[in-house]
Amino acid sequence: MPIHYQPVECKSFLHHFDKKFLPFSWGANPYRGCEHSCLYCFARYTHEYLGYNSGVDFDTKILVKANAAGVLEKELSRPGWKGDIVNLGSVSDPYQPAEKKFEITQQVLKIFAKHKNPLFVGTKSNLILRDIDLLSLMARRTTLIVYFTITTLDENIRRKIEPRAASTEERLDAVKQLSDAGVTVGILFMPIFPYLNDDFESINGLVKAVNNAGAKDLVLGVLVLRASCRNRVLSFIDEEFPELLPKYLALYKTAYAPKDYTRKIYRAVETARRKCGFKTFEMPVLREKQMTLEV
């Protein structure tokens, strides 16, 4: 399926949202839509706001915010901007394949670096290593955390659920290189697919691998079957693992797996974390943190 890139002029780059369970209240996206085509993507519904569908259009019709860096410079220069932490990549991967061509993410990173603005960066791509020198510099001057989504060590499953994203091996290598360069790296171990990557061996293997790579944090999440991805995921299970479909239908009466199941998974991951020596990760207290960083 061909990819269509549509350059657009954005009026604003930063967007505010109020989710008390998140450690940030500002997001930014150099692109809309995402070429990684992840089966489980929670953000697909956002493409409908742009007049596209949440299926093929989300994967193939990519909006490129050509003027993002200039708009961001104005936003961060405003007297009322308080230097709040921003999540770069809130509804699409900032290092998806489009970034090789357009380099919008690199441009906005330079603006964030200039203003020493705290930043979270979320990705599934090892393309981020292109900017390792810039990220290393930012890590010395402000609060910077890069989060890699890593769902499984099983490359066969990974290819099926994240068909155009970097391999797990490539992501683990990127975690190590960034960590060695002084960048704080965390892992989004999500989603955990029931009966696919939720067994004891899979959980322990992944936690050990990311710990060995130098990750400082690991956040987990069990698969949620929201309306925008429910049929897609269930069709995938029916096609690839038909013996599991009755179990999925029984488990997902609603969008969420039952609490007794999720508690079991959280306990298993916490046990693996402790076994590997992961400490409880505390989100940065930004005002105090900033005072101790390189000027």
Q: Closest by alpha carbon to 158, among 146, 147, 170?
A: 170
Cα distances (angstroms) measured from residue 176 to each of 131, 146, 179: 14, 12, 5
pLDDT digits (tens, 9 = 90+) for 116-127: 999 999 999 999
- Predicted local confidence at residue 227, as pLDDT: 84
- Which option is the CATH number for 4-280: 3.40.190.170, 3.30.360.10, 3.20.20.70, 3.40.640.10? 3.20.20.70
- Predicted local confidence at residue 19, as pLDDT: 67
Domain layout of the chain by residue ranges? 4-280
Instruction: Please give the single-letter amino acid code of residue 54.
Output: S
Instruction: Please give the single-letter amino acid code of residue 126.
Output: N
pLDDT under 50 in the chain at which residues? 283-295
- Predicted local confidence at residue 44, as pLDDT: 87
- Predicted local confidence at residue 294, as pLDDT: 45
